[in-house]
Structure formats: C-alpha cells, structure tokens
Structure 1
C-alpha cells in the first residue's frame, strides 16, 4: 500500500535537517517575489518551492508559510483550518494526516522544524 505514495518520477532528497525555524521565519516563506516556499506538517518544515501549486496563485498557496497539519488532515483549503493543532481530530483524519506526512517526505526536502512546535507526534 505504501507504493501509492511513491512519486511518478524519482526524487533525490537531501538528508532531513533538524534546524530550528521560527514561526516568523516560516511565515515569510510563502514564495512571494520568487523566494522560498515552505509548508510545515506536524512541526516538520518542507521546502515546496519547486511546486507551482504552493506558489502565489496556486491552489495550495493557502498552506505556504504555515503549519498546515489540521487542514491537510481534514483535506481542507479553508484558511481557518490552516493551523498546527491536529491532536483533537478523529482517528480517520489523523490517518489522513499521516498519509500526507508520507507523501511530503517522499517528495520534498525537510529543511528544519518549527521552533517550539508542540504538534510533532
């Protein structure tokens, strides 16, 4: 079943980093003006700069510069759902979130972790 998350084209990823990234620094990584674009899930920060969907005008830009754990678990692009808290969600949504973590980890470099994150596991 894990094969369903494999990218169509092989992706060469760097070793994951554990560098602390402040919430303020994350908030600046929205892809605006051609800059970096990051999305955090469960406190891990992924570099999604190369994916147009997360860039300004893209369908997932709402996640850029934020920890989108709750929204991903709920399969939602509503601004009010884009927040780090996920622990109170039902088991089926937690499973969806774990699937997103697997999906992102096979496609995007982990560039750090959100400093002070309380939503890691």
Structure 2
C-alpha cells in the first residue's frame, strides 16, 4: 500500500508540476505579446519623433521652392522685357533715320520692367 500511496503522491506532484509548467508557459506567452506590443509602441514613438523634424523641413523647403519659382518667373519676365528694349535700341541705332538726340531720348527714358525687380535708369 505504501507503494501505492507513494505512486499517487508522485502522480499528484507530477500533475501539479505539469499545471504549473503550463501556467508558466501561458504567462511567458502573454508577457511575450505584451513585450511585442510595448516594443511596437516604442518603435512607433521613436519613428514619429524622427519623422516630425523632417516633415517640418520638407514644409519649409516647399515654401522656399514656391518662392524661388515665383522669383524665377518674375526675373524671366524682366529679361524678356529688357531684351525687347535692347532690341528696340539696336534697331534705332542701326537705323539711318534716327538722330543722335532721338537715341539719347530713348536711352534716358525709364525702362519698364515687370514688378520693378530690376532697377535700370
């Protein structure tokens, strides 16, 4: 009988050990999922922290690009206008019918430049 009781006690201990092992396994599994979720949160927060300054810089660069494009358009308009003025002056200089006084009057007149970007005169 004592062998039977000892066997039963060992069986009960083994069963309890198995239950404790299973409970421990479930705890590790639950902790692993929590650790993965915490890791994902940390990575997301870090990424957002790193990305935010880049977003701000991109916004600044877009504004600078718009301003630069506007300046290029204005300067292009000024170049077109001044090229026309120079062409008119050249035609007048090469014309045998334009007098020196008329040429002086032409070049002393204010030159119209779009948006007043170029100060000529």
Q: Which has the higher contact order (CA 8 A, sep 6+)?
A: 1
TM-score bracket, shorter-length normalisation:
under 0.3
- Tell me the TM-score normalized by structure 2: 0.20
| Higher share in strand | 1
| Higher share in helix | 2
Q: Please say which structure displays the higher CA radius of gyration.
A: 2
